[in-house]
Amino acid sequence: MPDSVFFSSEGPFSLGEIATLPGVKLDSEADPNTIISDVKPLDLAGEGDLTFLSNPKYGQAFLETKATACVAPEKARGNHPKGLSLLISPDPYKAYAHIAAKFYPPVPGSGVIDSTAIISPSAKLGPHVSVGPYTIIEDNVEIGNNCIIGPLCHLGKNIKLGTNCRLGTSAVLSHCFLGNNVSIYNGVKIGQDGFGFAPDAVGHVKVPQLGRVIIGSNVEIGANSTIDRGAGPDTMIGDNTWIDNLVQIGHNVVIGKGCIIVAQVGIAGSSKIGDYVVFGGQAGMAGHATVGTGAKISARAGVTTDVPAGEVYAGFPARPIKQFFRQLATLNRLSKGKGSKK
């Protein structure tokens, strides 16, 4: 639940105001003048609070909630506690995200450049750009309007950021271009050398990494993730792709739009990933492989060959998930002696 020590609410709002948000419809029995002061989980919500129901496993908590209002699917109408006002949505979780963002919008930048920041005279900063303490911005960097650059960041020469970008503490960027509304969390490193070398028994020979990192708009990159610049071709991240914490993306990797890449995934160099692909946590992908549009890679899977569009792969080496579970079941039977002939 929101702690006022860390989070400042913009509320209260009436149910009528909340019902103007995307994907929300006020139930006909609900009073649009009802005031909502905060958002909280089902089991912690009380009078004046709004909550949500999106998972059937929390049905009992829904029946017992003390909240004033709840975002719920259509089928919850008539099965809700007496006195609970409903906001109907086909996707309650997504609707709740819009509502929570109304109460707790992103903290705007101050437009202040800290006196300890070191900024090259040739750098171009748009209006209302904030720069935190001890940040270094090198020659010819371009930063769009309303960007927030946190403390201890390092922006290498000639990079470009679009509008409304946010960089967390100790982010380091070089050899890259960012679109609009890109969020870079604490400790992210973008544009460093890719792991490129010619193996040699006497001494490995470094291959110069001469590409860039191109990141689209509305991208999120989680804390301590790293994205290497290309060796020749560029490393590319498509619009609306969200990358979790501790993800490693190698040189020359091309990732499409709308992808979701969960924590501790490693993607080796020159891989290609289509649009709307999902990687579960700790999955790995070998270099020069392709994952087709809409495919899903299960957690801890190891992708060593191409994955067709729309398929769900699991295991190591990764294979179609039905095949994976059939093989697992067979091994389980054999381990119990049920598959052997006497």
Q: 8-22, pLDDT tens digit by residue?
A: 999 999 999 999 999
Q: How far apart are CA 231 and CA 210, in angstroms?
A: 5
Long-range contacts of 318-327 (CB under 8 A, 24+ apart): 318/283
pLDDT over 60 (residue 133)? yes
pLDDT digits (tens, 9 = 90+) for 203-228: 999 999 999 999 999 999 999 999 99
Token pair in block for residue 217: 């708009």
Q: What is the pLDDT of residue 84?
A: 95
Q: Give the per-residue pLDDT at 339.
A: 54
Domain ranges in the chain are 13-103
Per-residue pLDDT at 52: 96
| 244-255 tens-digit pLDDT | 999 999 999 999
Lookup: tokens for 143: 């930063």
pLDDT at 342 over 80: no
Reported pTM: 0.90
The confidence score (pLDDT) of residue 3 equals 82
| pLDDT value of position 335 | 83
Q: Is the pLDDT of residue 265 over 60?
A: yes
Q: How crowded is residue 270: how many other Cβ atoms within 10 Å of its Cβ?
A: 20
Asked if residue 340 has pLDDT above 70, the reply is no
Tally of CB atoms within 10 A around 253: 26
pLDDT of residue 128: 95
Which homologous superfamily does the CATH classification assign to the domain defined by 13-103? MurE/MurF, N-terminal domain (3.40.1390.10)
Residues belonging to the active site: 251
* pLDDT attached to residue 338: 61
Phi, psi of 14 (to 5 degrees): -80, 160
pLDDT at 4 (0 to 100)? 82
Least-confidence region, from 111-115, 265-269, 333-337: 333-337
Q: What's the pLDDT tens digit per position in 42-99?
A: 999 999 999 999 988 999 999 999 999 999 999 998 888 889 999 999 999 999 999 9
pLDDT of 341 > 60? The answer is no
pLDDT confidence of residue 107: 85
With a pLDDT cut of 70, the percent of the chain lying above it is 98
Sign of CA dihedral 84, 90, 92, 94: negative
The answer to whether residue 163 scores a pLDDT higher than 80 is yes
Q: How high is the mean pLDDT of the chain?
A: 95
**Stretch 292-302: mean pLDDT, rounded?**
98
Poorest-pLDDT segment among 104-118, 135-149, 298-312: 104-118
Helices of type H across the chain: 15-18, 59-64, 92-103, 321-335
